[in-house]
């Protein structure tokens, strides 16, 4: 099914794909790719090249308008053909979701101060919502939030602990979720800030996101009333504005890198000989690549189905939960088979196949574990079945 900006998205996607394959993929072996993501100088170097190629933040047009979700899906899949593509093109998490949220809910002054440098690729951002579960905070259940925001005259004072905060190390823009008397609220802050302390950058299974994932202490952070995003008590509602499209854009990006991993594994199977014939001619190998092709196509259709719901103005909560579960599980199968097809080569870092396996394993937890989404869907099934 076609969509309104299909031609434009196709044109942008072609430019993004050419750039990622020719310019960014060679950086995958750069020593500045470290355990906590690419270093800041590598990010800046790649982004300068993205600007020169005209593919910086390609899903947001020069007039500030966004491509449709279907159009965004096409472009973000192309940016995801390398783990570094979204970083270079400024389509990566959490910035992509944060830009979407600020575009919808920030006032003109906030857009000028916080959003504009993000769209230009000059500022990275962090979304401070998740809290340490072992301390009773908001893990997968944001209603358990412990971080507080107390009004003091024309200011707010924020205290609390956060964890798994992607990109906090090196970010210039922070969006903080805290519980005010009216309910959960969001605040915009410039980073770094002495009242926001990075206690440690966690050693995690993934390594593609600049700044890694941090544990944070917020100690008497004082911000003016103008720092609040929207209205007090609206934080959970604003989070939903961000989270459904952000779940889907994760699917888009990882679909791109899974597609590239399939290309690498296929090329390997069509060159490598064993037991008198090419690997691809052994059913055990050929069938795995065929199953990957099926999973990739089904995932693409699921992404487009959810994108259509969002483009119709629906919340997309159910569709994004279904897409997130389906795509994350399918792409993990794709990654696992690619490793298996390539054997010893698949577990080395000579290609991105090993990295995809690590990254996409984490995706089954990010933005809500598979089990939480299934539980939410099961509750909806029950509501629909039982008499009111």
Phi-psi region of 227 (alpha: psi -120 to 50; beta: other; left: phi over 0): alpha
Residue 174 neighbours by CB under 8 Å, 6+ apart: 125, 126, 128, 168, 188, 189, 190, 191, 193, 196
Distances (CA, A) of 151 to 106, 158, 178, 181, 225: 20, 9, 12, 9, 9
Sorting pLDDT into bands at 50, 70 and 90, what band is 140? low
Distance CA 338, CA 355 (A): 11
- Judge contact between 328 and 370, C-beta under 8 A: yes
Residue 274, token pair as written in the block: 């064993």
- Judge contact between 269 and 278, C-beta under 8 A: yes
Residue 321 neighbours by CB under 8 Å, 6+ apart: 247, 368, 373, 376, 377
Distance CA 24, CA 47 (A): 10
CATH number of 236-385: 1.20.140.10
Distance CA 63, CA 257 (A): 29
Distance CA 94, CA 263 (A): 27
What is residue 142's predicted lDDT score, i.e. its pLDDT?
77
Residue 198, token pair as written in the block: 């990075």
Give the model confidence (pLDDT) of 311-361 as tens digits: 999 999 999 999 999 999 999 999 999 999 999 999 999 999 999 999 999
Number of helices and strands (H, E) in the chain? 12, 12
All structural domains of the chain with their residue ranges: 6-92, 125-231, 236-385
The CATH number for 125-231, chosen from 3.30.420.40, 3.40.470.10, 3.30.70.580, 2.40.110.10, is: 2.40.110.10
Comparing CA positions, the residue from 300, 291, 293 lying closest to residue 78 is 300
Give the model confidence (pLDDT) of 188-233 as tens digits: 999 999 999 999 999 999 999 999 999 999 999 999 999 999 999 9
What is residue 243's predicted lDDT score, i.e. its pLDDT?
87
- Judge contact between 95 and 114, C-beta under 8 A: no
Distance CA 52, CA 155 (A): 42
Distance CA 139, CA 31 (A): 33
Is the per-residue pLDDT at 268 higher than 70? yes
Cα of first residue to Cα of last residue in the chain, in angstroms, is: 37
Average pLDDT over residues 168-196: 97
Dihedral angle, C-alpha 241, 244, 246, 251, nearest 10 °:
-170
Give the model confidence (pLDDT) of 38-61 as tens digits: 999 999 999 999 999 999 999 999
Give the model confidence (pLDDT) of 56-96 as tens digits: 999 999 998 999 999 999 999 999 999 999 999 999 999 99
Name the DSSP letter for residue 68: P
């Amino acid at each position: 099914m076609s969509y309104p900006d299909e031609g434009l998205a196709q044109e942008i996607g072609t430019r993004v794909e050419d750039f990622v394959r020719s310019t960014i993929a060679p950086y995958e072996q750069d020593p500045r790719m470290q355990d906590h993501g690419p270093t800041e100088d590598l990010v800046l170097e790649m982004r300068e090249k993205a600007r020169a190629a005209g593919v910086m933040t390609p899903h947001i047009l020069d007039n500030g308008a966004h491509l449709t979700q279907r159009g965004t899906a096409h472009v973000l899949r192309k940016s995801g053909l390398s783990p570094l593509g979204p970083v270079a093109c400024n389509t990566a998490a959490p910035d992509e979701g944060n830009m979407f949220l600020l575009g919808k809910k920030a006032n003109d002054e906030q857009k000028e101060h916080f959003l504009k440098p993000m769209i230009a690729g000059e500022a990275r951002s962090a979304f401070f919502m998740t809290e340490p579960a072992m301390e009773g905070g908001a893990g997968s259940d944001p209603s358990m939030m412990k971080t507080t925001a107390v009004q003091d005259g024309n200011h707010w004072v924020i205290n609390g602990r956060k964890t798994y905060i992607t990109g906090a190390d090196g970010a210039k823009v922070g969006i903080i979720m805290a519980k005010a008397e009216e309910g959960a609220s969001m605040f915009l802050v410039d980073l770094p800030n002495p009242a926001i302390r990075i206690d440690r950058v966690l050693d995690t299974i993934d390594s593609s996101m600049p700044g890694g994932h941090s544990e944070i202490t917020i100690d008497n952070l004082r911000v003016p009333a103008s720092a609040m995003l929207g209205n007090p008590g609206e934080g959970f509602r604003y989070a939903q504005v961000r989270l459904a499209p952000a779940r889907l854009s994760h699917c888009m990006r990882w679909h791109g890198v899974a597609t590239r991993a399939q290309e690498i594994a296929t090329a390997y199977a069509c060159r490598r000989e064993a037991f008198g014939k090419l690997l691809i001619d052994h059913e055990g190998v050929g069938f795995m690549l065929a199953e990957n092709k099926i999973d990739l196509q089904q995932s693409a259709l699921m992404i487009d189905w959810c994108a259509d719901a969002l483009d119709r103005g629906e919340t997309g909560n159910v569709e994004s939960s279904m897409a997130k579960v389906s795509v994350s599980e399918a792409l993990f199968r794709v990654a696992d088979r690619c490793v298996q097809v390539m054997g010893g080569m698949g577990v080395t870092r000579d290609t991105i196949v090993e990295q995809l396996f690590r990254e996409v394993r984490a995706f089954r937890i990010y933005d809500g574990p598979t089990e939480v989404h299934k539980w939410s869907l099961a509750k909806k099934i029950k509501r629909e079945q039982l008499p009111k």
